[in-house]
Amino acid sequence: MATQPSGPAPMLGSLHSAFNHQSRERLLPTLSLKDGADWFEDEPSRLQRCFKWIADLGPWMYGMVVSLWEFGRADKRQAVFAGKAGLALAIVSLFVFVDDQPFFKEDLGKHYVWAILTVVVTFEFSIGATLSKGWNRALGTFIAGGLALGVAELSTLLGRKLEEVFLVISIFIAGSVATYLKLYPTMKAYEYGFRVFLITFCYVMVSGYKTNQFIATASSRFLLIALGAAVSLSVNILIYPIWAGEDLHNVVVKNFMGVAKSLEGCVNGYLQCMEYERIPSKILTYQAYEDSLYSGYRSAVQSTSQEDSLLGFAIWEPPHGKYKMLNYPWKSYIRVSGALRHCAFMVMALHGCILSEIQAPPEYRQIFSAELQKVGIEGAKVLRGLGDKVKTMTKLNSSDILAEVHAAAEELQKKIDLKSYLLVNSESWEVFKQQNDAIKDGMPDVPRPKPIHEQSLHELRSVRDSMLTTSYSRFDSSSTMDMMFRSQSMWPARRSFHPADPLPSEQESRTYESASALSLATFASLLIEFVARLQNIVDAFDELSVKAKFKEPVIETGEEREGIWSRFCRAVGLKR
């Protein structure tokens, strides 16, 4: 419906224009009053929102306190560490308030903030991290102070005019070289030391130039940093010490138990035809998710950075507790964890079979259920046994820990060989059988498919081109990451035959049945590969147990297990 064109604008100075202007002026106060009324009407609601915010502040603070309390209860070391940090700062600050200390009156009193900063930046959660940062800070300060003093002496020989230029050029060269060196891979462990070097060098050069006291500035800074580092280290070691090596030991043990739990869960879930109604997007994008099958192996795979960080701190720690050796073989723990991670990849693949769109029929799984279950149980038993050995720091027994799981894997291989016709398409075998029967009955020969080596080059190229065409047709240049969450567009979709739906063609059904049978073969082969990789873990553990001097296992004989009462009963003839 067309709108009516508006009339011509009134001529400026005409009667129509004057009435228009007056009507606008009359409307202005009305609009302002209306706006003011709305403001007064909205005022109670604003006050209500303010009071509501104040009322909600109490429950919010209560919830925050409860969450912080639960955080402290989960790991009491967090609260202990916070208390130790506060104590170290209080001890360092205490020297400032002591008036009768001539040691801190003049030069050191001016730069006392460096002692407090040293405590703040070097007081870390573990003793190894504190030692590492303290050493980096001391080394960077010492080298920077010595170099700054040398540069300052050279600058004084050049005269006052060239001194400033020489100092600026020296700061530029030192900053460029130190920044370049800290980027070198082998210097990564000393990155903090390079930062301290730059700060100290620039501070000594600039402050010493202003006061003309290079030696006093460098020595006071070094002494105050040494004081802060000594307080940090003393408090951290003497009060409830937290060791990075102990954390590394516990992480490796935890990973063993997690992978064993995931292995058992994957095998049991596959045999029970476990199926996700909708695969969580966090699993598809490999993010943290609360799932017993997923979280166990994921924690082992994702712990690489944590283990490397703990290793870097553990090598700084002195002998302590159960680790009473100099140069304790912490790197062997990383080797054991790496071998375990190599097995965890197989567990991840087993979980992928459960998440797969192509699933084997339940009746096929039932045929191999006993053998698959046995391998899963024995494999998890081996992992838990090795985890317990690492936890108790005990060597393996003389008997082969892999004997049972190897026997179970051999039984599975025999069952696969016996029932291999269920895992592949055996139609070609039927064709050969029909051909032999036809020859015996005098019937015409059934066409026999050519082997690959007998096919012509043109036939092989046509098969290759058709396979490439089919493969490329699955991908679209306009597809995005969101497509992974659309189960309708994934290939192939899970088959759900319904009476109302049209029946699939014979070729489609045959293809899907063949692929579903192969999925069972994939699961079994992954499980066998997992068993084969267990040997790497055992070898890495043997190396660790020898280098770390684990204790010998206690071998209980029949005589040691027999008590006094049992021997008495056997002596009087009550027990044979």
pLDDT, tens only, 295-336: 888 999 998 989 999 999 999 998 988 888 888 999 999 999
Distance of CA 310 to the CA centre of its chain: 14
The span from the CA of 238 to the CA of 303, in Å, is 30
Give the pLDDT of residue 439.
43
Q: Select from 174, 204, 238 the last residue of a domain.
A: 238
Overall number of domains in the chain: 2
Read off the pLDDT of residues 111-137 as tens digits, 9 standing for 90 and up.
678 888 889 888 989 999 999 888 888
Rounded (to 5) percent helix, strand, coil in the chain: 75, 0, 25
C-beta of residue 159 within 8 angstroms of C-beta of residue 219: no
Q: Do the domain assignments include residue 294?
A: yes
* Residue reference for tokens 């084997």: 360
Quick one: 148 and 283 in the same domain? no
Quick one: 380 and 334 in the same domain? yes
State which amino acid sits at residue 81.
F
Taking alpha carbons only, the member of 374, 424, 383, 364 closest to residue 404 is 374
Q: Select from 238, 257, 290 the last residue of a domain.
A: 238
Quick one: 165 and 124 in the same domain? yes
Quick one: 124 and 188 in the same domain? yes
Quick one: 217 and 183 in the same domain? yes
Quick one: 268 and 364 in the same domain? yes
Strand partners, 523: none
- 107-to-121, 147, 150, 532 alpha-carbon distances in Å: 23, 21, 21, 68
Quick one: 277 and 184 in the same domain? no
% of the chain residues with pLDDT over 90: 25
Quick one: 128 and 170 in the same domain? yes
% of the chain residues with pLDDT over 70: 68
Quick one: 189 and 295 in the same domain? no
DSSP-derived 3-state class of residue 169 = helix
Taking alpha carbons only, the member of 521, 477, 155, 506 closest to residue 356 is 521
* Residue reference for tokens 């891979």: 185
In which domain, by residue range, is 375 found?
A: 244-425+515-547
Q: Is 447 exposed, middle or buried (0-12, 13-18, 19+ CB in 10 A)?
A: exposed
Distance of CA 542 to the CA centre of its chain: 27
- Which tokens go with 160? 């006052």
Q: Select from 190, 223, 238 the last residue of a domain.
A: 238
Q: Do the domain assignments include residue 52?
A: no
- Which tokens go with 501? 């739906």
Quick one: 306 and 224 in the same domain? no
Q: Grade residue 497 by pLDDT with cuts at 50, 70 and 90.
A: very low
Q: Do the domain assignments include residue 555?
A: no
- 19-to-56, 168, 427 alpha-carbon distances in Å: 55, 77, 98
Distance of CA 63 to the CA centre of its chain: 29
Give the pLDDT of residue 149.
84
Give the pLDDT of residue 189.
81
Quick one: 117 and 231 in the same domain? yes
C-beta of residue 108 within 8 angstroms of C-beta of residue 220: yes
Strand partners, 394: 551
Q: Do the domain assignments include residue 174?
A: yes
Q: Where are the alpha helices (DSSP H) in 75-126?
A: 76-94, 107-110, 113-122
Quick one: 117 and 94 in the same domain? yes
The span from the CA of 388 to the CA of 391, in Å, is 5
- 409-to-234, 290, 376, 519, 529 alpha-carbon distances in Å: 55, 31, 9, 18, 9
* Residue reference for tokens 């043990």: 253
Q: Do the domain assignments include residue 476?
A: no
> How many beta carbons lie within 10 A of that of residue 259, not counting itself?
30
Q: Do the domain assignments include residue 107?
A: yes
Q: Do the domain assignments include residue 469?
A: no
DSSP-derived 3-state class of residue 342 = helix
Give the pLDDT of residue 390.
93
Q: Do the domain assignments include residue 73?
A: no
CATH number reported for the structural domain that contains residue 378 in this entry: 1.20.58
The span from the CA of 515 to the CA of 315, in Å, is 51
